[in-house]
Structure 1
Amino acid sequence: MKKIILSKIILGAALALFTLNSCKNESKQEDPKEVAEEQNEANIQNENVEDDADHLVDAAAINLCEIEIGKLAQEKGMSQDVKKFGKMLVTDHEKALEETKTLADKKAIILPSSITEDGRDKYNKLKDESAEDFDKKFADMMVDGHQDAIDKMEKIAEKANDADIKTWAANQISPLTAHLTEAKRIQEMQKNK
């Protein structure tokens, strides 16, 4: 009887170890933003520089998301205003991303290389909207997102430690404000439908 119980315990333990090991071997892709932040944390020893690096990582994540959502708006948007705004988002955020990359390279800061998990969630949420609801949800998302981005850039322009990063952030506010204005106009048009 003891041998049977001992055999079952050993078999159960082996099965548990096998299950845990196979779960560990599944390749869960890490969020690109987290990867960049971890690499910067490992490479940067100064807390002030690390804070500035986080600002650039956040900005790159925003730009990557806006580029993908802009492309989606061009494909799925019902109105010409939404399609046109989507094209503007892609053009302007690609330019902003290049500026961010140039500054990051100058400062030896690593940025995310692809859309983050949060960005992918926003994209998928919008992608899943019906054709009838897409333009409204897109406009709402763009108003909220651009207001948040402006707030972040204003804060960075004021509080960043690096003068180049302060200047860069201040220069990002004007195009983001133009996007916010256009998003609010489209949002208003959607309310009046």
Structure 2
Amino acid sequence: MNDTILGNFVATVDRGEIEAGKLAVSKARSSAVKAYARTMIDAHTKDLALTTRLLRGNGLATMDSSSNAAAPASGGDLVADTKAQHQQVMTQLRDATGDAFDRVYMDAMVAGHQDVLVKLEMHAGGASLAPVTSHLAAVQKAVTDHLARAKEVQLKLSAVAATQPRD
């Protein structure tokens, strides 16, 4: 793994979180879900800008949201796979309505953040530039925080669902 791929992986995750968050703000019923989505939009918008500046500032190629041009064939799978997973989640989110949307979104946030953490841990030693290594460590901490908050909201949704009468 190299700095370019790892940076573009983070940028791809950021773009996906922003897109899913915007959809959640418009479709979610739960105020807690909407608040979480707004937090994701804000945090990932800031990180996307930071990651892009970091890549460009270190002479590393950046991918736009629609291509894998910057990723060498040997490592581009991390970015391409992340994009594919995001598209599957977006399809599920677009299809979900009502309270089911809230559950699908929060389930996706928990699973997605867990997946990103695993990938960050797996490739922790893959960056060679100190600024990229430092940024990846900060991202890992942020993802850990986002995961903890997602689990809290998910638990809150489960508690509410358990108290509602069934038809």
TM-score range, shorter chain: 0.7 to 0.9
Mapped contact 2:114–2:147 kept (Cα < 8 A)? yes
Residue 163 (structure 1) shift: 1.7
What 5-or-longer segments of structure 1 have no aligned partner? 1-47
- Per the alignment, residue 22 of structure 2 pairs with 71
Q: Does 1:53 align with 2:17?
A: no
Mapped contact 1:156–1:169 kept (Cα < 8 A)? no
Deviations 1:6-29 (A, max 9, x none): xxxxxxxxxxxxxxxxxxxxxxxx
Residue type at the aligned position of 2:60: I
Residue 130 (structure 1) shift: 1.9
Q: TM-score, normalised by structure 2?
A: 0.78
Identity %: 29
Superposed, 1:102-181 pairs within 5 Å as: 102-114=53-65, 116-181=83-148
- Per the alignment, residue 98 of structure 1 pairs with 49
Q: Distance in 1 between matches of 2:151 and 2:107?
A: 8
2:153 pairs with one of 186, 190, 193? 186
Q: Distance in 2 between matches of 1:80 and 1:134?
A: 13
- Per the alignment, residue 86 of structure 1 pairs with 37
Residue type at the aligned position of 1:90: I
Residue type at the aligned position of 2:56: D
Residue type at the aligned position of 2:91: N
- Per the alignment, residue 45 of structure 1 pairs with none
Could you say what secondary structure the match of 1:109 adopts?
Answer: coil
What 5-or-longer segments of structure 2 have no aligned partner? 67-82, 162-167
Higher relative contact order (CA 8 A, sep 6+): 2
Deviations 1:17-71 (A, max 9, x none): xxxxxxxxxxxxxxxxxxxxxxxxxxxxxxx6xx221111111110000001011
Residue type at the aligned position of 2:35: K
Q: Distance in 2 between matches of 1:113 and 1:92?
A: 19
The number of residue pairs the alignment matches comes to: 144
Residue 118 (structure 1) shift: 4.1
- Which structure carries more helix by proportion? 1
Residue type at the aligned position of 1:86: A
Residue type at the aligned position of 1:106: G
**Greater CA radius of gyration, 1 or 2?**
1
Q: Distance in 2 between matches of 1:104 and 1:94?
A: 15
